Amino acid sequence: MALKFHTLDVFTDRRFGGNPLAVVLGADDLTDAQMQAIAGEFNLSETVFVQTSTRPAHSAKMRIFTPRSEIPFAGHPTIGTAILLAELNVPVHNGETDALVILEQTIGTVRVGARLRDGAPAFAEFDAPKLPAEAGILPPDDVLAAGLGLIPSEVGFENHAPICYAAGNTFAFVPVASLDAIRRARVNGGHWEKAFEQQGVSGVYVYTRQCEHTNGAFHVRMFAPQIGISEDPATGSAAVGLAGLVHQFDRLPDGTHKRVVEQGYEMGRPSQISLTLVVAGGKLSTVRIGGSAVRVSEGTIEV
């Protein structure tokens, strides 16, 4: 059986940046084991398998696999798959079109708005299917610092402190004081296991306010060796959790707040994630993730 696939770079407006994604089409007849094996073969942060939707009004069903396991939701697979399906299936009129792509994921139905323009990278955004919620307790700062190869005084800034948030996937969020510190962060051997692997988190999201570019609000890195991702160039699902702690620590007033999150620079894969937070009645009511994607390659894979 030969299946068509495409690869895209997501959360970037140019090839060879952002987070690479493989999307395998027509995957209805694949077993779970086959999908996991193919994801391991691509060896990207995530591989998407597109299947026939269960409802006529929906665009597709999709399943998401890391090289080691299936996950219920992820941001760059959602953005990349929506853009690919829009480009393949939606006609462009007068050089532009807007499309609603409805994707069935394990976490639930996700509606993605895609914007296609001739001569410009495609852009898509979606409302997070779950709002972030606090989840779990982390060890003391000195243990977290050791796990990242940092010193305790480099953990935390202003009133931001380490915290766990979940929005489909659970992440440990560790604020650090500077770009210098975040550039030196790493998975630090046995100290990492003590700090993070006993906490049941999908990954560790390290962030600082110091940025490479003036339009950035946060510079971040994400490590998830326990699910086969040594470091991720762009992590939309973790940006959803970031929205929760930004609302908590920065005490945002009611209204719409937009932030740009930069990631992947230490990997040579610069990424830009658009993060929108809507606060109503003092509570976080909506988290929206957006970004561009460009197609890189296509082919067939024999199963």
Let me know if 266 is a catalytic residue: no
* Secondary structure (H, E, C), 194-231: HHHHCCCCCEEEEEECCCCCCCCCEEEEEEEHHHCEEE
What distance in Å separates the CA atoms of residue 227 and residue 237, rounded to the nearest whole number?
15
237-to-131, 177, 213, 288 alpha-carbon distances in Å:
11, 23, 22, 11
Out of 46, 87, 154, 262, the active site residue is 46
Q: In terms of DSSP bridges, do strands 96-105 and 108-117 run parallel, antiparallel, or are they unpaired?
A: antiparallel
Give the position of tokens 């090839």.
15
Place of tokens 């609000």: 217
CA distances 203 to 13, 59, 109, Å, are 26, 30, 24
Write out the two tokens for 38.
Answer: 């193919």
3-state secondary structure of 111: strand
Task: Give the phi and the psi of residue 71 in degrees, each rounded to 5.
Answer: -125, 150
Question: What does R_g of the chain's alpha carbons equal in angstroms?
Answer: 19
User: Do 4 and 284 touch, CB atoms closer than 8 A?
Assistant: no
Query: Does an H or E element contain 49, and which?
Result: strand 47-51
Active site residues: 46
